[in-house]
Amino acid sequence: MANPKLTRRGVLTAAGAIAAVGALKQEIGPLMAATPDGFDQDFKETMTTMFWVGEAADAENDYISNHESYWDKDWLISFGGVDDPIHRNGHWPAGFTPKENPFYVALPYGEFTERGRLKVEARGIPWYRPDLVPLLKNRWVEIRYGGRSCYAQWQDVGPCGEDDFPFVFGAAEFPKNTFDAEAGLDVSPAVWHHLGMSENAPTVWRFVDASAIPEGPWTEIVTVSPNNR
């Protein structure tokens, strides 16, 4: 496979992104899944970019380092190394076996305030329970692109935001993110390569209950670690 275009910048104009997403919506049509936890969700379409554990902070990612995640201050250590998007061993990074699932995503919402308390609207998360910890980390997501499906676990917030409840859980069609491609979903190199992506592009995604995840490369290593903020 040719080297992917890793930049989040300048791949599509805002108008082009909206048009591309709209075209994908017409192609996919209305798809809904009833998950075992009772959360019925349509697929939601959005521009999608790639990120990875250990990604350095620079202009391409709005100077946001991925050595730590929203839920894990030691993410790089927990994962076991840099998830290099170029040097791969199949779905895994070359040179080491990751300690956590290499199939992961980021969505632009996190449940905690700056003081570490639960945000008020977080009680509106469809599967919310007072005793459910972690509430969002490790949650499963299905992503579709070009006729292919991939499953991954939610391990960070973004792209470029952590307060977009209307897009992640509500009816908002587009994310609040206005940075370059205006993406609403970040995917790991494993997800990117499995879907056959070569540049930033629209995908569709939905939450899926863990009991409904089919076996695949995303179940070879499943992340179960708790919040480590």
23 inside domain: yes
- When mean pLDDT is compared across 15-19, 34-38, 125-129, 179-183, the lowest value belongs to 15-19
> What is the pLDDT, as a whole number, of residue 34?
40
> Helices in the chain by DSSP H: which ranges?
14-28, 75-79, 165-168, 189-194
39 inside domain: yes
Give the mean model confidence (pLDDT) for residues 135-146: 98
Three-class secondary structure of residue 72 per DSSP: strand
- Taking alpha carbons only, the member of 53, 165, 150 closest to residue 107 is 165
Asked if 221 and 195 count as a contact pair (C-beta separation under 8 A), the reply is: no
190 inside domain: no
pTM: 0.84
Beta-strand relationship, 32-34 and 40-42: antiparallel
145 inside domain: no
> What is the pLDDT, as a whole number, of residue 110?
98
7 inside domain: yes
Asked if 199 and 94 count as a contact pair (C-beta separation under 8 A), the reply is: no
Beta-strand relationship, 104-107 and 88-89: unpaired
134 inside domain: no
Domain count, the chain: 1
The DSSP line for 101-134 is: -S-EEEESB-SB-TTSPBPGGGGGSTT--TT-SS
Instruction: Tell me 228's DSSP state.
Output: B
122 inside domain: no
199 inside domain: no
| pLDDT per position as a tens digit, 59-112 | 554 556 688 999 999 999 999 999 999 999 999 999 999 999 999 999 999 999
For 12, the domain range is: 1-49
Give 166's contacts (C-beta < 8 A, 6+ positions apart).
172, 176
Calpha distance 156→146 (Å, rounded): 25
> What is the pLDDT, as a whole number, of residue 41?
74
| Burial track 167-194 (b if 16+ CB lie within 10 A, e otherwise) | bbbeeeebbebebbbbbbbbbbbbbbbb
Residue 27 has pLDDT above 80, yes or no: no
